[in-house]
Amino acid sequence: MSRYLVAGGAGYVGSHVVLALLDAGHQPVVLDNLSTGHRDAVPAGVTFIEACLSDRERLAEVFRAWKFDAVFHLAALSLVGESMKDPLRYCRDNLSNGVNLAEAAVRAGCLRFVFSSTAALFGVPKVTPIAEDAPTTPVNPYGQSKLMMEQALGWAEAAHGLHSASLRYFNAAGADPLGRAGEDHDPETHLIPRAILATLGLAPPLHVFGTDYDTPDGTAIRDYVHVADLAAAHIAVLPRLEHGSVRYNIGNGSGHSVLEVMAAIERVSGRKVPYENGPRRAGDPPSLVASSALLRAETGWTSRQARLDDIVRTAWNWHVAHPQGYAQREAALTA
């Protein structure tokens, strides 16, 4: 049994990585400051450490107390619009705190590091689907902060032998098919949960950011990958780290517009999605679609839930069962 530190393991993708590790027979240890994550997203029996990556002494204590086979780093800020308003905060949290974690791992001799990166570092791509060697020209501070962290990890390999996997997420979506975890942000900014909550009457009508993009229906196109498939990729890349650092795009290789996502929710739910149109949001490219050919070829990874309707169905089931998200379950436990 291998032991892994999952920084950000109480968050959306992190909690699904924890489940994937458990299902594979490994021992995850979760470190999270709960600024956006949920204590109840951590499964019973999993060691939980409440700490901030800015606390270097606490990180050193964690690595002294435990021996880890690898580190998964999923603890970061991730809102494009917020990054445009507060770029220095994103540089501090996403770069400085990530460097703190990498440094602690190096000092402890833990030289395998899986980093949650983003497709946002590609900016407005000239060619789609996007391959790993596409130009990295971020158009927002969020993408820039992730690119800088990738570059820092490159230098850490050269100087210290830290082998890293930078996983460039496209749009994580859906929920654990067994209902053990789901998506619960405050505020919620991701399209699928926002549309579902609006359809359930738990949120205002969906606000569509831009209807005049150069796309077939005028709305932005994104590549949606099921969060459980995304979590599985984190485990699939571990053997590659025996030989050096890697960078992979993770998506389904096909894009769906905002209107297509809304249509899928209506098919799954049998209800209409209430929505209103608005202007574009600063920092949003018109289309982001991944080529995951390299990841598939080098690791054997494949997306098991690639159909948009299947992704939406797991998200719909989660929100119907948890209309108040984790807060509902946490309230029940303290009642």
Q: Active-site positions?
A: 142
Is residue 205 reached through a cis peptide bond, with omega within 30 degrees of 0 on the bond before it?
no
* Alpha helix stretches (DSSP H) within 91-140: 97-107
Question: Is residue 251 within 8 Å of residue 296, measured between CB atoms?
Answer: no
Cα–Cα distance for residue pair 215/112, rounded to 1 Å:
40
Cα–Cα distance for residue pair 163/207, rounded to 1 Å:
41
Nearest to 113 by CA among 292, 226, 21, 240: 240
The three-state DSSP-derived secondary structure of 37-83 is CCHHHCCCCCEEEECCCCCHHHHHHHHHHCCCCEEEECCCCCCHHHH
The dihedrals phi and psi of 131, each to the nearest 5 degrees, come to -95, 170
- Taking phi first (over 0 means left), then psi (-120 to 50 degrees means alpha), and beta for anything else, what does residue 67 get? beta
Both ends of the chain: CA-CA distance in Å? Answer: 37
Cα–Cα distance for residue pair 310/251, rounded to 1 Å:
15
